[in-house]
Amino acid sequence: MRIGVIGTGNVGRALAKAWAAAGHEVVLGSRDPEARKDLGLPVAEVREAAAGAEVVVNATPGADSVALLRAAGADVLDGKVLVDIAVGFTVEDDGFALTHTGVSLGEEIQRAFPAARVVKTLSTMDSSAMVAPDDLAEESTVFLSGDDPAAKAVTGTLLTDLGWSPASQLDLGGIETSRGQEHFALLFVAIMGALGTHTFNVRVVPQGKG
Amino acid sequence: MRIGVIGTGNVGRALAKAWAAAGHEVVLGSRDPEARKDLGLPVAEVREAAAGAEVVVNATPGADSVALLRAAGADVLDGKVLVDIAVGFTVEDDGFALTHTGVSLGEEIQRAFPAARVVKTLSTMDSSAMVAPDDLAEESTVFLSGDDPAAKAVTGTLLTDLGWSPASQLDLGGIETSRGQEHFALLFVAIMGALGTHTFNVRVVPQGKG
């Protein structure tokens, strides 16, 4: 599959490498591709990376995502699966705070690009866990939110390629459930402080003895 | 231990019964004790239930908690462990929303009652899981947030009495980490929708094979 990963931070680089290793054709999208030539993967302008892809992945800083994708041109996202990993936050004196409260970035992206098929996923964990779920002590849970079932199915296969078994993937429903994934960031930060590491995840434990 | 459980909804009743069964002396606090005489446990006015207790538990609707506790009289909370279970939310056309965003009810209660020793816990799950963690498929995690280590230790023993092993209890740090516990409510609601039940919990999965 041709995947355009927009964003060359920790998340974008980790996902791009993992999907390339799984046999996909991956291009990273950057606002400054020349400065990113040393990543070991093809890097293009954001618009070009999105235009050539079947699946576009938003791994840009959440507070800037809508503006950045809009600048690239909404037309290159039309009809495409748009996997949104981002969470918008600020770190103030008062602590960590979300930039999208009472709504979610996932919903805002879907509204801004109505012809894109947005799927929110992987936003409840650090990049180290995203691409190596088997390195955790036991199987944990990855969430999916989106309005297009076929787009969620495609995203599910890409998650499987990262090591997420179908049983570990929990479809939460429509894109409005992105709120849950994004607001988890506040608990993520607290757990990270308690454990002293960002490499962990949560597992949903259902009723009834296994 | 003498425990005053303020609030006679599902959460208050479930906790009061479980702690009474574990041998504690429990009094429920209600705004209308006469109407609540059939609960099988002593019920008193909020102020009286708090005044006679060593540990006060806030199991009132989160949006009303500060006003309700203030009406009971701040003086009866002075120096006491105040275990805060509540989450403030509204259900609008647009869906479930928190009433305390950018902050937490836990912090607001600590600010409103500075001489109380507030510990936020149990707020990430349904009452069915709070009092019967062993009925879930495997051990899951309960979080604690608070500024007073001794108050957190007392709360930990009360959690153990409900069936939460010390290993299942994760101390997140100061009362500001209540934000994480409370904001998890949005993910809780989404998972509840996906699983079709409110009886579940999450388990923190750390790095490294067991």
Residue with tokens 């996932």: A106
Per-residue pLDDT at A209: 60
The verdict on a CB contact (< 8 Å) between A209 and B137 is yes
Q: Which chain B residues are Cβ-neighbours of A205 within 8 angstroms?
A: 136-140, 200-203
Which residues lie below 8 Å from residue A54, measured CB to CB, with a gap of 6+?
Answer: A1, A2, A3, A80, A81
pLDDT average, residue stretch B131-156: 98
Partner residue opposite A206 with nearest CB, options B188, B193, B200: B200
pLDDT digits (tens, 9 = 90+) for A170-196: 999 999 999 999 999 999 999 999 999
| Amino acid present at A86 | A
pLDDT digits (tens, 9 = 90+) for A9-56: 999 999 999 999 999 999 999 999 999 988 899 999 999 999 999 999
pLDDT digits (tens, 9 = 90+) for A142-153: 999 999 999 999
Q: What ipTM does the predicted assembly reach? A: 0.96
Point out which residues pair with B5 in neighbouring strands: B28, B57
CB contact at 8 A, B59 and B12: yes
Residue A126 to chain B, least CA–CA distance (Å): 12
CB contact at 8 A, B36 and B46: no
Q: What is the mean pLDDT of chain A?
A: 95
Partner residue opposite A193 with nearest CB, options B95, B97, B172: B172
Q: Is residue B210 very low, low, confident or very high in pLDDT (cuts 50, 70, 90)?
A: very low
Per-residue pLDDT at B209: 60
Q: Is residue A1 very low, low, confident or very high in pLDDT (cuts 50, 70, 90)?
A: very high
Residue B133 to chain A, least CA–CA distance (Å): 9
pLDDT over 50 (residue A210)? no
d(C-alpha A147, C-alpha A162), whole Å: 23
d(C-alpha A197, C-alpha A34), whole Å: 33
Domain spans in chain B, listed from the N-terminal domain onward: 2-195
pTM: 0.96
Q: How many Cβ pairs closer than 8 A exist between chain A and B?
A: 146
DSSP string, chain B: -EEEEE--SHHHHHHHHHHHHTT-EEEEEES-GGGGTTSSS-EEEHHHHHHT-SEEEE-S-GGGHHHHHHHH-GGGGTTSEEEE----EEEETTEEEESS-SS-HHHHHHHHSTTSEEEEESTTS-HHHHT-GGGBSS---EEEEES-HHHHHHHHHHHHHHT--GGGEEEEESGGGHHHHHHHHHHHHHHHHHHT-S-EEEEEEEBS--
pLDDT digits (tens, 9 = 90+) for B50-70: 999 999 999 999 999 999 999
pLDDT digits (tens, 9 = 90+) for B2-47: 999 999 999 999 999 999 999 999 999 999 999 998 889 999 999 9
Token pair of A24 as six digits: 């996909």
The verdict on a CB contact (< 8 Å) between A180 and B203 is no
The gap from C-alpha A2 to its chain's centroid, in whole angstroms, comes to 16
B27: left (phi over 0), alpha (psi -120 to 50) or beta: beta
Per-residue pLDDT at B97: 84
In total, chain A counts a number of residues equal to 210
Per-residue pLDDT at B98: 87
Which of B182, B185, B31, B1 is CA-nearest to residue B12?
A: B31
pLDDT digits (tens, 9 = 90+) for B165-188: 999 999 999 999 999 999 999 999
Partner residue opposite A181 with nearest CB, options B180, B187, B204: B187
Residue A128 to chain B, least CA–CA distance (Å): 10
Q: Is residue B103 very low, low, confident or very high in pLDDT (cuts 50, 70, 90)?
A: confident
Q: What is the mean pLDDT of chain B?
A: 95
Per-residue pLDDT at B128: 97
First to last CA, chain A: 37
Per-residue pLDDT at A37: 86
Q: Is residue B93 very low, low, confident or very high in pLDDT (cuts 50, 70, 90)?
A: confident
d(C-alpha A181, C-alpha A86), whole Å: 10
Strand-pair category, B25-30 with B2-6: parallel
Per-residue pLDDT at A165: 98
pLDDT over 80 (residue B157)? yes
Strand-pair category, B43-45 with B25-30: parallel
User: What DSSP character marks residue A52?
Assistant: T
Q: Residue A41: what are its φ and ψ, rounded to 5°?
A: -140, 155
% pLDDT > 90, chain A: 87
SS3 A6: strand
SS3 A45: strand
Q: Which chain B residues are Cβ-neighbours of A168 within 8 angstroms?
A: none
pLDDT over 60 (residue A60)? yes
pLDDT average, residue stretch A104-129: 97
Overall CATH class of domain B2-195:
alpha beta
Partner residue opposite B208 with nearest CB, options A137, A171, A189: A137
pLDDT over 90 (residue B204)? yes
Which of A26, A66, A74 is CA-nearest to residue A47?
A: A74
SS3 A43: strand
pLDDT over 80 (residue B94)? no
